Structure 1
Amino acid sequence: MNEQAERHQGEDTGRDEEAVSRFVERFAAELTEAGMQRMAARVFAALLASDSGALTSAELSERLRISPAAVSGAIRYLVQVNMVRREREPGTRRDRYRLFNELWYETLGRRDHMLTRWEDVLREGAKSLGPDTPAGARVAETVAFFEFMQDELARMLDRWREHRDKQLRGEG
């Protein structure tokens, strides 16, 4: 769906585009406060607020009133941290940037893989530092924390799927 069609669709639903813009900027500010790059946060929030969950660089530039170069840098970051994927618009040379279908589930699932890689490196580090040294004990505790986090995250994501499925079936 192009920018104009999406804007028109928003008008048809009675959506206040100024309120949507304020939401995008407010959520982006929260993401920035949490450590995300400012422009990446704005692009992510704009994608999240779009009905299609996908926009082109030109649509993002227009919506956020930023340069194509700013969009490009933000997208590069969001793709790198697996929050957005790039896809080619059929029959064109333009890319669309799309949120993952189960955005938060997928994002947290990918973090799980990152934690596994960190655990492996930290385990080696704990061995190298020696378990009887303060540094070795600190690194070993970090490994134990990540192991705990992974176990809890896996269970939480399973519970989320069950909860979401019940909601979709109208049971909860």
Structure 2
Amino acid sequence: MFQKVHFIQKFVNLSNTSLTCQVFRSPGGDDGVVSAQRDDEAVQRYAEQFGNLLADTGWPRMSARVFAAILGSEQGRLTAADLAEQLQASPAAISGAVRYLLQMRLASREREPGSRRDVYVVQDDFWYESMMRQDRYLTRWEDSVKLMLDAAGQGTDTTRRLRATMGFLDFIQKEFDGLSDRWIKRKAEIDAELDAEFSN
């Protein structure tokens, strides 16, 4: 798990800067960074690894690769032709992959101004939106399990198993509610930090 988290952090860092930066000596004697150039090759390599990690958790592999490629792109948006070239995949494979992402609302489709080409975009808050969809799924799962529980009778092994399941789903549901509130507050802080950093 630590290795996966460490790799994702490297991927995020590389999306903005390279692994090596030129260092200068300021007149006051302090070291500073002259420039930090994006390393496209490294970003794409780590994006491919991130896509494989997503596929390992159950994502369709090509959709995972497409998602990671868009996420790591400089503008957070790529055309189907861009994706086919970067991933060395057929137009049909890209079409199927983006269709899945659009259906799952993991990406959106936009039209480039003055062009007929569609671009596929990963929004900044997609993780939160994905989590909220899981919250809605939990509610539906809980309702469905409740129906089974009502029909299972009393004092049976099935009842015990279903009540344990209900307890878990109820616990997770309540945790989601608190997590959502905490994330909204934390996101405001992160947005302020990023606005300050990228406005310079």
TM-score normalised by the chain length of structure 1: 0.82
Q: CA RMSD in A?
A: 2.4
Aligned to 1:16: 39
Aligned to 1:140: 163
Q: SS in structure 2 opposite 1:36?
A: coil
1:131-161 Cα offsets, whole Å, 9 max, x none, are: 4322232123212211211111221121122
The change in CA–CA distance for 1:167 and 1:89 in structure 2 (over 3 A counts) is closer
1:102 equivalent among 113, 116, 125: 125
Aligned to 1:7: none
1:86 equivalent among 109, 121, 128: 109
Q: By how many angstroms is 1:103 displaced?
A: 1.4
Whole-Å separation in 2 of the counterparts to 1:167 and 1:93: 35
Answer yes or no: is the 8 Å Cα contact 1:82–1:110 preserved in 2.
Answer: no
Identify which of structures 1 and 2 has the higher relative contact order when contacts are C-alpha pairs closer than 8 Å and 6+ apart.
1
> Do residues 61 (structure 1) and 93 (structure 2) align?
no
> Do residues 127 (structure 1) and 150 (structure 2) align?
yes
Aligned to 1:154: 177
Whole-Å separation in 1 of the counterparts to 2:107 and 2:116: 19
Larger proportion of helix: 1
Whole-Å separation in 1 of the counterparts to 2:69 and 2:123: 14
Q: By how many angstroms is 1:50 displaced?
A: 1.5
Which segment is superposed worse, 122-131 or 20-29?
122-131
Aligned to 1:42: 65
- Number of aligned residues: 162
Extract structure 1 runs of 4+ deviating beyond 6 A.
10-13
The change in CA–CA distance for 1:80 and 1:136 in structure 2 (over 3 A counts) is farther
1:32 equivalent among 45, 55, 62: 55
Aligned to 1:75: 98
Answer yes or no: is the 8 Å Cα contact 1:55–1:97 preserved in 2.
Answer: yes
Q: Alignment identity in percent?
A: 43
- Consecutive unaligned residues of structure 2, counting only runs of 5 or more, are 1-16, 19-34, 194-200
> Do residues 117 (structure 1) and 131 (structure 2) align?
no
Aligned to 2:25: none
Answer yes or no: is the 8 Å Cα contact 1:25–1:45 preserved in 2.
Answer: yes
1:38-88 Cα offsets, whole Å, 9 max, x none, are: 111101101110132222211111121111111111122222322122334
- Consecutive unaligned residues of structure 1, counting only runs of 5 or more, are 1-9
